[in-house]
Homo-oligomer: A and B are copies of this chain.
Amino acid sequence: MDITILIGGAAGQGIQTIGALLAKACCKAGYFAMAVNDFESRVRGGHSFFQIRISNKPVYSPQKTVDLLIALDQNTWQTHKQSLSEKSVVLADEDFSTTGQVVPVAFEQLAKEIGSKLFVNTVAAAAGLRILGADLGTVQSVIKDHFSTLKPELLEKNLDAAQKGFEKVADVSFEQQPLTDPSVPKGNLISCAKAIALGAVAADCRVGAFYPMSPATGIMQHLTELSKRLDLVVEQAEDEIAAANIVIGASFAGARAMTATSGGGFCLMTEALGLAGMTETPMVIVNAMRPGPSTGLPTRTAQGDLRFAIHASQDDFPRFVFAPGTPEQAFEQTRKAFHLSEKYQVPAIILVDQYLMDALFMLEKPFSIDTHVERFIVADEDMPDPKNYERFAFTDSGVSPRALPCRGDALVKVSSDEHRPDGHITENIDIRNAMMEKRHAKLPAMIDELDEPAAVNPEARTILIGWGSSAGAIKEATKRLRDKGLDIGCLLFSHIWPFPATAVGKVLQNNPDRQYICVEMNAGAQFAGILKEYTDIVFSGYVLKYDGRPFTAAFIEDALKEKELA
């Protein structure tokens, strides 16, 4: 079973509530699910939708064809009718001609019969549940569960609304009825925004600073939520420049700290990024990408800031760049970003995107919390002579023992100018060279910390290469094409920088007539450029997308066919 449900309407109509209800019910019934959130940069009106995919196997990317369409307005069925198949069912407030079966449901009228058009959500959710095979009892318990905090009389009305919706579609037959056949739940739905916030607290992040910017705000929202119960302070800054510098200040004083933003805000943080680089202060920045240039498409998805993240800020200094593609990776790599940023005293950037931030994925195993978090901080006791402590002492590894200010006799002196080991400004050529080399000396060990890219069928003749959020769709496309008999595999990067060049050769098995195809969500084939620079891979083609909507396996398949690459 593998079905897609799309609930569409105007911003403010509550389609996310309906979607969440349906998705949760399916999860509870033991199915795998994922959901995509698609909305415009406005608060009311326009068109948005929530698209759920349900399957009895794990699913990591959205699908093109819609099996059940719940259209709260005309705009929705007009926009999405081309995604329907013969077997599709549409719940819409009026009839229209299409492939598939239309079931007219006067959502608003039914809601108003209960007392207010606010009940549209419940009517629609109940109808959806029924179509998916729920009986009235199940629908009622789902509704009760969801509205458990409401006053009794309001809950009653919602139950009435649910009954209306249920009855309206009682006779509709839908091919797949997952809810008729429940089994043990496989996990919980979670967004990568949530996973990153949880990864941060798991890494013992103590300070968050941010300036609101879609699609990064969700992360800071979750962190704020978590701060109510943890030793964590989240501060909204006056702008992104302040946010980034607050993070550095907090980190300098000894707290693990992070910020999250998107491209425009990241621009404003680039100077602070260099400050962290020069002062060797740990710092974690999440850049949740959206399509640009400039304001671009504020609520949509892209992978267009890769090169910018790698090269941002003047002159060369080491940094980490991660690009998780699943909640597990988002959690793990956020934790790792904090750990490595502190271990190597370099900034770490986590590149995600709107798709990852706002989509829901199935988390099968709960996140694990370490019993111990290693800090890389020294105190007077660790020093032979605290009074002569030097923050930037030369070492073989390039990492100097890091003390905190005002915690003992050791004075911590830090300058953004080129400095001597003791932290004071220098113009001396030899010290300058040595400091530059000290900072870069960390690179080999940094690369060793990184995971190799994940490979599927690394022996295959055709290798798709991707990174970050595209991994799910690429993996699925690979599988579908192999099922069709193609000799295809893929190589998926989530540890991006310092670029693990030698790992590529290790993972990929040699194949003399291999063709490589890069699949990414930008116009410039940015990741392909890095591979060209650091490996001897020659690309036969690219699958690029920059329309702001996430990849689907079908899109990749079609693009490969069109380019005669598969």
Contacts and interface: CB of A to CB of B under 8 A. Distances in A.
Contact of A314 (B292, B439, B532, B533): B292
Interface string A259-288: 000111011101100110111000000000
Interface stretch (A13-21, A201-209, A250-258, A541-549): A541-549
A427 interface: yes
A523 B316 contact: yes
A523 B439 CA distance: 11
A314 B266 contact: yes
Interface in A37-73: 40-41, 46
A278 to B, nearest CB: 4
Contacts of A315: 263, 291-293, 296, 302, 304-305, 522-523, 546
A388 to B, nearest CB: 25
A548 B274 contact: no
A566 to B, nearest CB: 22
Interface stretch (A217-225, A376-384, A428-436): A428-436
Nearest to A547: B429
Nearest to A264: B271
Query: How many copies of the chain does the oligomer comprise?
Result: 2
Contact of A271 (B41, B268, B529, B546): B268
A463 to B, nearest CB: 19
B533 A316 contact: no
Contact of A311 (B274, B308, B534, B549): B308
Contacts of A314: 262-264, 266-267, 289, 292-294, 296, 304-305, 308
A264 B268 contact: no
A312 interface: yes
Given A305-B315, A436-B546, A417 B295 contact: yes
Interface in A519-534: 522-524, 526, 529-530, 532-534
11 contacts: A264-B271, A275-B294, A293-B439, A294-B314, A296-B416, A297-B418, A298-B417, A305-B314, A310-B311, A315-B523, A530-B533
A539 to B, nearest CB: 11
A128 B339 CA distance: 60
Interface of A: 40-41, 46, 241, 262-264, 266-268, 270-271, 274-275, 277-279, 289, 291-298, 300, 302, 304-305, 307-308, 310-317, 415-418, 425, 427, 429, 432-433, 436, 439-440, 522-524, 526, 529-530, 532-534, 546-549
Given A418-B296, A547-B432, A268 B268 contact: yes
A291 B40 CA distance: 43
Contacts of A549: 429
A213 to B, nearest CB: 11
A274 B278 contact: no
A289, A292, A312, A549: which has the most chain B beta carbons within 10 Å?
A: A292
Contacts of A312: 267, 270, 308, 311-312
A478 B289 CA distance: 46
Of listed A40, A293, A295, A296, residue having the most chain B CB within 10 A: A293
A267 B300 CA distance: 25
Contacts of A264: 271, 274, 314
Contact of A316 (B293, B295, B532): B293
B313 A440 contact: no
A417 B264 CA distance: 12
Given A307-B311, A312-B312, A313-B308, A295 B278 contact: yes
Given A264-B274, A294-B314, 9 more contacts: A41-B427, A263-B315, A270-B270, A270-B312, A295-B415, A297-B432, A311-B311, A315-B546, A429-B547
B316 A417 contact: no
A27 B213 CA distance: 58
A523 B398 CA distance: 15
A288 to B, nearest CB: 11
A51 B236 CA distance: 51
A161 B118 CA distance: 93
A293 B417 CA distance: 8
- In this complex, which of A291, A295, A546 has the most chain B Cβ atoms within 10 angstroms of its Cβ? A295
A429 B87 CA distance: 27
Contacts of A427: 40-41, 46, 297, 300, 548
A297 B549 CA distance: 44
A276 to B, nearest CB: 8
